[in-house]
A and B are shown apart, each in its own frame.
Chain A
């Protein structure tokens, strides 16, 4: 619990607060000013230049009837849920690294996890774009070689009638509307995020040895140790990851922009709110409207974060 300090005591060394000024200045300039500018411009008909016309709440009224935007929220909801599920491999990986008996091996696994972070994100996106190539991509090759393609074709033809897996036709992952969301979910397989693993590892390493010893005395097996000790004690880290993940997924659109283009791909299935905001700003030249979409996104993220903080509780 924080200790209350009296005002005279807090102000006694007031010069020290000056050290905070550069940070406040940078945060204000690069974080708060753009956000406040977006709020301001969301009430204007603005093309991104100097001239603008005040239109009150018109942009927000338009948002209420924007079918593309609300459709994109459905897509993002699916992606958020999928991304939450995709957290599991990182947690499992962290637990496995944590349980390694050798400190040296633990160190090397941590290094191996960090090394791919050096590769720029854009390069990873390009690699995955190539993976999804229908004719030369690795994904279709793997499906062909393993016989999974034949299984998918059979399931499609006889059971599900999706009409997307056809014999002798390469799977068009990104130009077939029904496959776009599965492809976006598949992206990043096996979904081991280095940052996530390191965050969970930090949490796991703070668990005292005595807790494990007590569990061992009680006869707890590896899975029970995970369920009753490790998982509850890294909930703080999971909650942090969850908040970052929800914010990142809702805001993000780089993946969709690169893989599917500005229009969200075939059938517009890959359209997400961030991409629609980008589309309105840089394709339609409606910067004011794009700012208003940004405001709606902000509210969504805020509400989800509040819900997360309220209901994903950490019992100390």
Chain B
């Protein structure tokens, strides 16, 4: 037998062995899933940050120990592909039992929620049995055990009038700093508290780089991280303007009112507050590394933990990862914004924005196709109980979502600051896809190395109004479609007999109210858009 023949046989043999191993794995897995004595619960999320997966694994093993015959499997899917993965899993009918809802899933339309997720309203009104020994929370409805009362999206859908998710954490944004480098550059122990101090620190860093010849920049930027800083600055300049645009007096940011305000001519790119905001964005953008707009979250993080930048703006979710990777001491401070007494910018400011409205996050929704609905609810009760969330917060180093759960010391500076004022708006309005694209496409003109406010305005101005109008038209259309889709539920409740069935009556009234609100909002948008033609 010659060598060629032997090598062919080896190749074929290897292929055969691999095939047998793969086949065995697939078949044994299928057999496991058919095992009547084993229930497998799968949950998926995109939180690949350090510590979270290990924490969920630990909680899952703990749950398995107290529930023989149950296996909990965790699927960690990268955020980059989560949106597409989520939709294809749902439509393909292969979705896991629990899926994280929120930014990673993209726009959660009413249709998507209603069709592919199970409302859990009936469960959240009942006490969480795992809170039985938790003093103040024992006997309270489940939803009232969360810090935000479960009143925020995506846990609650105000248009469908149903609860769809259970949270495990909450998120805020702060500025991380390299404490060792800070001590060396600033010679101080306290981080900056005012915008002026912040700029002075950045200037000192640049002077340090020149003097010492070290490649250290003031801020590690990326298209992911930079907005946490520059958008906050812009939003501080539009606080007073937001009050003026607050048509429905909701004391908060309503993208539709801001957009209609622009189309109505109540603000434009030459409005002093807007120009002031752009000036701040431009100034701080210049303090980040050149070309940061082409970089992603990991790049900025890498830059920071390598000691190439003094500051990094990011959320509480990155706290554990940064602690784990940085070979230096980490400090955290709240982004200092111009105050009311600032000579140039003070006239536009109300005061530091409050984080009292911060909603809970890391929300898990129960998929309609789940064959383990009761088990999934029980697992959610377990991880969101006071003891369960305490374990979660301790181990992951993330903020808690449940009342009475203390944050660990490291994450304490991230607890929401409840004192303060309403926040302003930013040009890339949340939920406005075309507008965000236009702003993003021209951002290099503002924060690039040769960028300026005038150049940015020149680029963004011609298309911004049309982008807003296009987004508003889509919102009006979707709003009417969502309102129409409620007709079926309304008819069903009607058939159930409104006079004799108090539950159906209550549901009918809630749905009618939500439908009216959606129709009102959609027709209002259409009317306003029509008047602009």
Q: 18 A-B pairs, CB-CB below 8 angstroms? A: A47-B111, A47-B481, A49-B109, A49-B112, A49-B116, A50-B111, A135-B289, A163-B450, A169-B290, A173-B291, A175-B294, A177-B444, A261-B223, A263-B437, A279-B437, A283-B433, A285-B109, A286-B474
Q: Chain A residues with Cβ under 8 A from B436's Cβ?
A: 263
- In this complex, the member of A132, A283, A285 whose beta carbon has the largest number of chain B beta carbons within 10 angstroms is A285
Taking a contact as CB atoms under 8 Å apart, the answer to whether A265 and B106 are in contact is no
Taking a contact as CB atoms under 8 Å apart, the answer to whether B115 and A170 are in contact is no
| Interface check B485, CB cutoff 8 A | yes
Which residues 55-90 of A have a CB within 8 angstroms of B? none
Which residues 270-324 of B have a CB within 8 angstroms of A? 289-295, 299, 303, 308
What is the bound-complex CA distance between A166 and B291, given in angstroms?
A: 12
What is the bound-complex CA distance between A284 and B303, given in angstroms?
A: 32
What is the bound-complex CA distance between A266 and B91, given in angstroms?
A: 33
Taking a contact as CB atoms under 8 Å apart, the answer to whether B474 and A166 are in contact is no
Taking a contact as CB atoms under 8 Å apart, the answer to whether B294 and A283 are in contact is no
Residue of A nearest to B295 (CB): A133
| Interface check B528, CB cutoff 8 A | no
Residue numbers of B with Cβ under 8 A of A are: 83-84, 87, 91, 106-107, 109, 111-112, 115-116, 223, 289-295, 299, 303, 308, 433-434, 436-437, 440-444, 448-450, 459, 474, 477-478, 481, 485
Taking a contact as CB atoms under 8 Å apart, the answer to whether B91 and A172 are in contact is no
Q: Chain B residues with Cβ under 8 A from A267's Cβ?
A: 441-442, 444, 459
| Interface check A48, CB cutoff 8 A | yes
**Secondary structure dominating the interface of A:** loop
Checking B106, B289, B444, B449 against A283 with a beta-carbon cut-off of 8 angstroms, the contacting residue is B106
Checking A49, A51, A166, A282 against B449 with a beta-carbon cut-off of 8 angstroms, the contacting residue is A166
- Residues of A within 8 A of B (CB-CB), count: 38
| Interface check A252, CB cutoff 8 A | no
Q: Chain B residues with Cβ under 8 A from A170's Cβ?
A: 290-291
Q: Chain A residues with Cβ under 8 A from B106's Cβ?
A: 282-283, 285
**CB proximity of B365 to chain A, nearest CB, Å:** 15
Given A263-B441, A285-B109, the answer on whether A134 and B290 have CB atoms closer than 8 Å is yes
**CB proximity of A143 to chain B, nearest CB, Å:** 14
Taking a contact as CB atoms under 8 Å apart, the answer to whether A47 and B293 are in contact is no
What is the bound-complex CA distance between A194 and B481, given in angstroms?
A: 50
Residue of A nearest to B80 (CB): A258
What is the bound-complex CA distance between A279 and B436, given in angstroms?
A: 12
| Interface check A97, CB cutoff 8 A | no
| Interface check A45, CB cutoff 8 A | yes
What is the bound-complex CA distance between A2 and B34, given in angstroms?
A: 52
Residue of A nearest to B437 (CB): A263
Q: Chain A residues with Cβ under 8 A from B481's Cβ?
A: 47, 51, 53
| Interface check A264, CB cutoff 8 A | yes
What is the bound-complex CA distance between A252 and B371, given in angstroms?
A: 38
Given A166-B449, A263-B440, A282-B83, the answer on whether A174 and B294 have CB atoms closer than 8 Å is yes
What is the bound-complex CA distance between A259 and B291, given in angstroms?
A: 13
Q: Chain A residues with Cβ under 8 A from B116's Cβ?
A: 49
Taking a contact as CB atoms under 8 Å apart, the answer to whether A51 and B433 are in contact is no
**CB proximity of B78 to chain A, nearest CB, Å:** 11
- In this complex, the member of B289, B294, B440, B450 whose beta carbon has the largest number of chain A beta carbons within 10 angstroms is B294
Which residues 258-305 of A have a CB within 8 angstroms of B? 259-268, 279, 282-286
What is the bound-complex CA distance between A259 and B293, given in angstroms?
A: 11
What is the bound-complex CA distance between A173 and B91, given in angstroms?
A: 38
